[in-house]
Amino acid sequence: MGALTEVEIFDCLATNLRLAAEDAEKLATATYRGEVYDRYRRELKLVEGACYQATHWREDARWLVLAKYTAECHERAGTWLRGWKNENGVRVKPNMGTAHPLFLKLAELLRDFQRKAERLKTMATYKVGPILPVVQPGPHRETRPVQVPLGMVLRNSGLIVPA
């Protein structure tokens, strides 16, 4: 996606989220999933790109959260299609005849993303300027190094240091 207008970015976002949700439902029941999964991956990639462009266009870092979640949806769907290992270490493939409950939940989640994206697009921010994430404090460590003046170290080490 090149330099798009805001209307085109949000149209791409809404359309591809809707299509990805439909394809997730198809993946739940389809016996041949290759073509549907390939289309689903392309749609999620377009959604992710649209979120990055919305972040840049609106100077609002909250769109990056949605981009992160779409990448996670892509990764998990691939894991579900390839199968997973059970507690005995045996690779388990999903049943082809029944609806896969995780893909149905994924379709529901993608529709929820679409509603949240629409709300984020239209809601008031009450801020002027870029919206950036709140910086979290670093982890508290009891063993972190403390800056000590060099003269203090030499005097307390037992060495005789001239003034």
Tokens representing 143 are 């063993």
Give the pLDDT confidence score for residue 11 in this predicted structure. Answer: 96
- Rg of the Cα atoms in the chain: 25
Domain ranges of the chain: 6-85+92-123
pLDDT in tens, 2-48: 577 899 999 999 999 999 999 999 988 877 788 999 999 999 999 99
Predicted pLDDT of residue 151? 55
* Nearest-angstrom CA–CA distance, 52 and 2: 12
- Tokens 């289309």 map to which residue? 39
Which burial class, exposed, middle or buried, applies to 72 when counting CB atoms under 10 A from its CB (0-12, 13-18, 19+)? exposed
The answer, yes or no, to whether residue 93 has pLDDT greater than 70, is no
Distance between CA atoms of residues 17 and 117, nearest Å: 10
State the Cα–Cα distance between residues 73 and 15, nearest whole angstrom. Answer: 17
Identify the H or E element spanning 71. helix 63-82
Lowest mean pLDDT segment, chosen from 17-21, 86-90, 114-118: 86-90
